[in-house]
Structure 1
Amino acid sequence: MKPAAWHIAFIAVMVLYFTGMALQNDTLQFFFKPLLVSTLLGMFISETAGVASPFKKWIAGALVCSVAGDTLLMFANNNERYFILGLVAFLIAHVFYILCFHFIKVKASIPGKWYAAIIVGVYYFFMMSFLLPHLGALKIPVLVYGIVISFMLLLAMLLYDLPDQVAARTILTGAIFFVVSDSVLAINKFYHPAAWGGWAIMSTYVLAQWLLTRGMIRYIRQEERL
């Protein structure tokens, strides 16, 4: 499929999925949820075809693991094991994002920033302190997941110094929305479910994945021109 076709497919899937949410139609949601990131993967592969970049495999891996995580979490209400497996899938997805952002940081010779580490550390400390009394048997997995996604956010913040500011801001905004989505999911699951929780989780998640994909497509294509 051509890039334009993948864009249309993504928009169509997104509209159908959120229609399923609005109608509380489990069949529509079940069918289209795994296709949300699948169409982004198709878009990424299509728009970076022919570009030799070492970063392509990390983003492809992150998107594939995200599709696996989306699929596994659909069964989480019936069996807690699926929630743990979904958590592991997304943890691996974040590891792929971390590796990608780290190698970009090294290639661009971007230094670390103490204030960025403090901002992320404060977020992690307060979020985990709030959730800790409610985590039960999932305390260790959630604490580890929190460390991983916080590190992903930190690296995305460091990439703000990339020469291509559009790519840098797109990637950072995507990382922020990912953290927001996962934070709302954790509060919704472990503390208190809200009626609007599902909408907040999925809208920020879809936006996060789209922004990360678009940012990396732009970065990889700009890299080819250098």
Structure 2
Amino acid sequence: MDSAANGKGLNADYPQLPEDAGQRIALVSRRFAGLFLFVLALSADLLLVGFDVDTSYRLATKPLIVVGLFLFFARNAVRRGSLRWMLPALALSWLGDVLLLFEGQNPLFFILGLSAFLLAHVCYCLFFLGLWKQERIRLHLPLAAGVGVYYAGLLLLLWPVLGTLKLPVAVYGATISLMLLLALHCGIMRRRNVGFALLLGALFFVISDSLLALNRFYAPLPFAGVLIMVTYGLAQWQLVKGALLYGAE
């Protein structure tokens, strides 16, 4: 039997990479351009935050963090089932990032940014609920109790200093706590690499928002800006990574 013909038959069902090296590089570049933009934008934004540069300069860096992940996910994901909620979640996160850049000019922008992120977390919750259904995940009461205690403890700590923001912060906190609870259960998924990435993403998100709340309302924290953005970037990346791994199943 002819070996070339045999090889062709074996690989007939698999997508073939371009033979030309230039085409191969172009294909890889298109697939990973968004990820490169994410890393570049996050690194630049961390430098601006670390050196306490005027916030107006961050208009060129902070919004591009999520744009990079949006493009990376849109280019590589199979958007079916609950995965369809990922792009709206990222788009709303981008909107929240932009709005929060203007909170120094008008406090209303903080409420608007918080609202955008609340809706983003609703989308993430819908994504996780889809995974729960597909993976037949059931509620574990100890996990629910742990998340509830953390949420209640942080809210009680901040409550005296929240002023007119008590209700918005409480609602937002409840929503992201639900997202965390749903994500924690993904640790028992069949594909542990998927579950671990999603779990990490939710944890980093809660850490980032907790640091932001403590720094804004309770007491200034050392290196708060850098820590908030590092954990935020890791959160969005891990959520995108986990969703892509799940979609590749």
Give secondary structure in 2 for the equivalent of 1:71.
Answer: helix
Q: For 2:229 and 2:79, how far apart are their aligned partners in 1?
A: 33
Structure-1 residue corresponding to 2:182: 155
* Alignment match of 2:73 (pick from 28, 34, 44): 44
Q: Which moved more, 1:18-27 or 1:166-175?
A: 18-27
Question: How many angstroms apart in 1 are the aligned matches of 2:199 and 2:172?
Answer: 19
Q: CA deviation at 1:121?
A: 0.6
SS at match of 1:110: coil
Deviation at 1:11, TM superposition (A): 1.5
Computed over aligned residues only, the root mean square deviation of the Cα atoms, in angstroms, reads 1.2
After superposition, residues 118-137 of structure 1 pair within 5 angstroms as: 118-137=145-164
- CA distances 1:72-99 after superposition (whole Å, capped 9, x unpaired): 0001122110000000000000000000
User: Which sections of structure 1, spanning at least 5 residues, go unmatched?
Assistant: none
Q: Percent identity?
A: 39
CA drift at 1:103: 1.1
Cα distance in 2 for residues equivalent to 1:24 and 1:126: 31
The alpha-carbon distance between structure 1 residues 72 and 103, as it changes in their structure 2 partners (threshold 3 A), is same
Q: Aligned letter for 2:103?
A: A
State the TM-score, normalizing by the size of structure 1: 0.94
Residue 177 of structure 1 is aligned with which of 198, 204, 212? 204
Q: 1:80 aligns with which of 94, 102, 107?
A: 107
Structure number with greater Rg is 2
Alpha-carbon offset, residue 5 of structure 1: 1.9
Answer whether contact 2:89 2:119 (CA < 8 A) is retained. Answer: yes
Give TM-score scaled by structure 2 length.
Answer: 0.85
Residue aligning to 1:60? 87
Partner amino acid for 2:236? Answer: Q
Aligned length: 220
Structure 2 letter corresponding to 1:149: I
For 1:120, the aligned partner's letter is V
Q: For 2:124 and 2:248, how far apart are their aligned partners in 1?
A: 18
- The 8 Å contact of residues 55 and 220 in structure 1, kept in 2 or not, is answered as no
2:53 to 2, 11, 25: 25
Structure 1 segments (4+ residues) deviating >6 Å: none
**SS in structure 1 at match of 2:61:** helix
Say if 2:223 is the partner of 1:213: no
For residues 22 and 52 of structure 1, the distance between their equivalents in structure 2, rounded to whole angstroms, comes to 37
Q: Are the counterparts in 1 of residues 201 and 236 from structure 2 also a CA contact under 8 Å?
A: yes
Give 1:52 deviation, angstroms: 4.7
For structure 2, which runs of at least 5 residues remain unmatched after alignment?
1-28
